[in-house]
Structure 1
Amino acid sequence: MNTAVRASAFTEPVRPKGLLIRFVTTGGSYVDVTGHGEHAENNRWNCLGCGDSSARPEQGYLFRIRPDANNHATACRAIPLT
């Protein structure tokens, strides 16, 4: 079984203001990390496939949420509905 992430067959959505990182999910959707950057505490991630997001945006330092966003992108199989 091949589990490699392939280039998405879907159109990439518009990049939101403050986009810091965009991960492609296993299902071909995207997880966006947005905010004011590395030293800001208001960064958050949001999955455009399943709608899940950061559990604690008040603790949104980039070094804390980057691994969570990446792990979610690896596990999420939701496809974009638009």
Structure 2
Amino acid sequence: MSTATPAAFTEPDRPKNLLIRFITVGGSYVDVTGPGEHSNKNRWNCHGCGGSSQLVEGDFLFCIRPDANSHAAACRAIPLP
């Protein structure tokens, strides 16, 4: 069994409403999506572990940006095919 890992993972497709994309320490991605800066309907979702914003309805961009960035800095989940 090989223990080699790919040097880089394939970036997932970018949704139309993508505002920010962070790369995690595990090589996955955290997407911040929504209508934009002046809306409270923005959310973040992690492609690695499946984590997401805590608020069901989302939040303003200035509120969730630090949460998404912190998650990306700590998440070690790798993307699975």
TM-score by length of 1: 0.87
Partner of 1:34: 33
Q: Larger Cα Rg: Structure 1 or Structure 2?
A: 2
Q: 1:59 to 1:32 in 2, by over 3 A?
A: closer
Deviation at 1:58, TM superposition (A): 2.8
CA distance in 2, matches of 1:22, 1:48: 11
Aligned pairs (5 A) from 1:49-64: 49-64=48-63
Give the count of matched residue pairs. 75
> One-letter code of the match for 1:50?
C
Structure 1 segments unaligned to the other structure (5+ residues): 1-7
CA distance in 2, matches of 1:23, 1:9: 15
Structure 1 ranges of 4+ moved more than 3 A: none
Tell me if the contact between 1:25 and 1:75 (Cα under 8 Å) persists in the aligned partners.
yes
Deviation at 1:70, TM superposition (A): 0.1
Deviation at 1:59, TM superposition (A): 4.7
> One-letter code of the match for 1:74?
A
Higher mean displacement: 54-63 or 40-49: 54-63
Deviation at 1:17, TM superposition (A): 1.7
Higher mean displacement: 50-59 or 68-77: 50-59
> One-letter code of the match for 2:24?
T
Structure 2 segments unaligned to the other structure (5+ residues): 1-6
Partner of 1:76: 75
TM-score by length of 2: 0.88
Tell me if the contact between 1:43 and 1:57 (Cα under 8 Å) persists in the aligned partners.
no
Q: 1:22 to 1:76 in 2, by over 3 A?
A: same
